[in-house]
Amino acid sequence: MVSTNAGGTASKQASSMAPNPGKATILALGHAFPQQLVMQDYVVDGFMRNTNCDDPELKEKLTRLCTVPDPNLIICSYKYIYSTIIELACKTTTVKTRYVVMSEEILKSYPELAQEGQPTMKQRLDISNKAVTQMATEASLACVRSWGGALSEITHLVYVSSSEARFPGGDLHLARALGLSPDVRRVMLAFTGCSGGVAGLRVAKGLAESCPGARVLLATSETTIVGFRPPSPDRPYDLVGVALFGDGAGAAVVGADPTPRFLPDTDKTIDGRLTEEGIKFQLGRELPHIIEANVEAFCQKLMQEHPQAADKLTYGDMFWAVHPGGPAILTKMEGRLGLDGGKLRASRSALRDFGNASSNTIVYVLENMVEETRQRREEAAEEEDCEWGLILAFGPGITFEGILARNLQARARARD
């Protein structure tokens, strides 16, 4: 369930929601980012300089990925940008800005990170473990402030990250950083990738509804440090990550109805392996097509969990909070489901402003939707809020995560 706080003031870092007695509800949202803001126009020169790469062919390929065209000229179809390897759709990533932990200071301290073939996993994890905890702490504090409750009221912690590896895990480090009670029950979801944010919401919902009075803090935190590598002609697909992925954290204090699903024989389509040189990550170019072929059946299954709603709903009547894995996925979804361009506006805005920040991104999408609703009310727009909608993400497996959600404030206005 997603609802907006009509009487509150939306901030850039957090959004609070109205409670829904008897059902798990997203009570508040928050986010945090590292200090390093990357403008897409400067990615190519900065990356090539920082990795001491002077290969003109690789530079030209990365330039094409990072170029943001006139939106009227975007070709919304799946195209090859360079032969025999994975390419992005729509000719570009559509990303304009991102935040990243990696900086020139880090590379000066750890120059081996920019050298090919060096065993640097220890250094990467030292940086990443500290960064994800710091970002998750800041996002959680922003979320709790927006909620208006106290950290002492948190009963459960769900922590999601594909960017760290340590024992004890990041869930304990976050609980300590926040000063949570030792009695708080913790769950950590690791290496779930882009579907992790919605998987975390699903777990949080189950905890909240099975424990009356529970207050579940969900925190997601990701950084690309573990996958940072110099470019190589042997791995041109690495350039996609350089042009697309960003770092950050998200948090929620919680809600709504889930169904997980994974597709057989697709476990190599999103392939990530932890090696001494960092995470080696590769996307299959068939990913947008697989999602397109299966998304409608998945949405129908989610909608049938509430037949009374499904019988009277069309896709156009619903709101859509979709993890923006890339522009091709959003475009394929729009085409398959017949959605107009405005339905995925919040997702495209999150991708443009923050890149694909893995599990965090769904929080940014939801915050965008809350802000859009607030603006409509201030402007007294005639457009009505949708009462029902879907929160969706797609990750390794290929795993489909989804929640059928209800906007309680839209429902209240309908009764009025």
Q: Which of 306, 337, 74, 121 is nearest to 225 (CA)?
A: 121
Is the distance from CB of 56 to CB of 45 less than 8 angstroms? no
- Which of the following is catalytic: 143, 194, 299, 386? 194
194 is catalytic: yes
Helix (H) or strand (E) holding 243: helix 238-244
Residue 11 vs residues 16, 29, 76, 279, 359: alpha-carbon distances, Å: 9, 10, 33, 35, 21
Mark out the alpha helices in 67-193 (DSSP H runs). 104-109, 121-147, 170-178
The DSSP-derived string for 275-315 is ETTEEEEEE-TTHHHHHHHHHHHHHHHHHTTSHHHHTT--G
The rounded distance, in Å, linking the Cα atoms of 339 and 320 is 9
Q: Quick one: tokens of 147? A: 């909620």
221 close to 177: Cβ distance less than 8 angstroms: no
Distance between CA atoms of residues 304 and 89, nearest Å: 32
What is the residue whose two structure tokens read 């390093």?
36
- Geometric angle at alpha carbon 206, from 199 and 411, rounded to 5°: 90
Query: At 250, is the secondary structure helix, strand, or coil?
Result: strand
**How far apart are the C-alpha atoms of 229 and 304, rounded to whole Å?**
45
List residues bridging with 59 in a β-sheet.
none
For the residues of 194-229, what is the DSSP string, one character each? GGHHHHHHHHHHHHHHHSTT--EEEEEEE-SGGG--
CA 209: distance to chain centroid? 24
Catalytic residues: 194
